[in-house]
Amino acid sequence: MRTTVGIIGAGPAGLLLARLLHNAGIDSVVLESRDRAYVEQRQRAGVLEQGTVDVLRAAGAGERMDREGLRHDGIELRFNRRRHHIDFPALTGGRSVTVYAQTEVCKDLIALQLKEGGPLLFEAEALAVEGAGTDRPSVRFRHEGREDVLVCDYVVGCDGFRGVSRKAIPASLSRVFERTYPFGWLGILADVPPSHHELVYARHDRGFALLSMRSPSVSRLYLQVPADTDAEEWSDERIWDELERRLETDDAWTLRRGPVTQKSVTPMRSYVHEPMRHGRLFLAGDAAHIVPPTGAKGLNLAIGDAVTFARALVHRRETGSDALLDAYSATCLRRVWQAERFSHDLTAMLHRDPGATPFDRRLQLARLDRISSCRAAAADFAEGYTGFPLD
């Protein structure tokens, strides 16, 4: 097989990149190791930054998102049993976020790719990226019981943390920066309308809690738990009781309870691989960076990587210059590190660290009080949450 851009992985980054390239008249082939049902059902992120929303619309993938997505003009911070609203449009010049699950983004992009785009091969396992340092890199893969080779001008690895793409970058060139947190998130999906119209981030002495949603009738909620927690050790009643404690306020707000349909524990880590490019191999999304979910940055960073590569390749076609391709890693990493900073700071401000001292806990409250009482601090927070520029 032969194509201009070989894309490994049909997550948001790979699928959007294929769409952007198709719209620009550049051919690609997408290889995805899982079947279509798995890709369209795996639960991941659900908050889209303003820039991500704008890109999906411009790519022709925003119709259902605009119809079914939930625009949020702010979030609520809770601490010391008090509620503080952060007004995004007022603080950012009109920006907002949209709650629209990653599963739905993938469904929309898959439908467009199969209808209009180039080949999208499910159950096509990438085995290795070869010749990344040459002008004819290739992807060796297995599909329908036999091995094949996809020869490309460029390879973009959107195959996640455990994929093969990053392994093609020589160890002598790689630098890894990471932090593992001593806690995780116990998350549930529940068939009950959300208890608040916006996301609620709660700092409590018992640990962090998040009230989110997937739709007007489905709630998504999280509790901070020790990193080694088994989700099945928590009964539904125990989860609801703990959520109620951590989200409690001094007013009449109440938590709605309902049937729990899914339960899992998400680990918390920060990870960055530098560089994000080697020769004609480019890394995107979780293949290059991971953020703790607190700041809702993972999907949005992946989208940013796809946009950056697509713009760089179009620029090369139009001008003959490799300047933007050569700058791909540095361009992406500027945004990645700002998102890492924001996600780490928010995680540290809201979670109970097992090793924290009383001094540390008072600093958490001081930071939260600063955001809730100072417009400049609130604006910095709102700008970070609604998204760093894609250009």
Residue 83 in this model has a pLDDT that exceeds 90? yes
Q: What does pTM read for this prediction? A: 0.95
CA–CA distances in Å: residue 158 to residues 6, 281, 391? 10, 11, 20
Among candidate residues 12, 22, 72, 278, the one labeled active-site is 72
Q: Is 385 a catalytic residue?
A: yes
Q: Is 201 a catalytic residue?
A: yes
Among candidate residues 22, 204, 273, 297, the one labeled active-site is 297
Q: How confident is residue 41, by pLDDT bands cut at 50, 70 and 90?
A: confident
Residue 186 in this model has a pLDDT that exceeds 80? yes
Could you tell me the residue ranges of all domains in the chain? Answer: 2-178+268-386
Among candidate residues 100, 289, 293, 351, the one labeled active-site is 293
pLDDT for 85-119, tens place per residue?
999 999 999 999 999 999 999 999 999 999 999 99
pLDDT for 162-185, tens place per residue?
999 999 999 999 999 999 999 999
Residue 42 in this model has a pLDDT that exceeds 90? no
Residue 44 in this model has a pLDDT that exceeds 90? no
Among candidate residues 201, 204, 222, 273, the one labeled active-site is 201
Residue 354 in this model has a pLDDT that exceeds 80? yes
Q: How confident is residue 157, by pLDDT bands cut at 50, 70 and 90?
A: very high
Q: How confident is residue 390, by pLDDT bands cut at 50, 70 and 90?
A: confident
Q: How confident is residue 305, by pLDDT bands cut at 50, 70 and 90?
A: very high
Residue 373 in this model has a pLDDT that exceeds 90? yes
- Name the residue with tokens 């851009």: 5
Q: DSSP string covering 175-225, please?
A: EEEEEEEEEEEEEEEESS--SSSSEEEE--TT--EEEEEEETTEEEEEEEE
Task: Give the Cα separation of 69 and 65 in Å (integer).
Answer: 5
Among candidate residues 154, 181, 222, 385, the one labeled active-site is 385
2-178+268-386, CATH topology level: FAD/NAD(P)-binding domain (3.50.50)
Residue 353 in this model has a pLDDT that exceeds 80? yes
Tokens, residue 198: 């916006």
Mapped onto helix, strand or coil, the DSSP state of residue 25 is coil
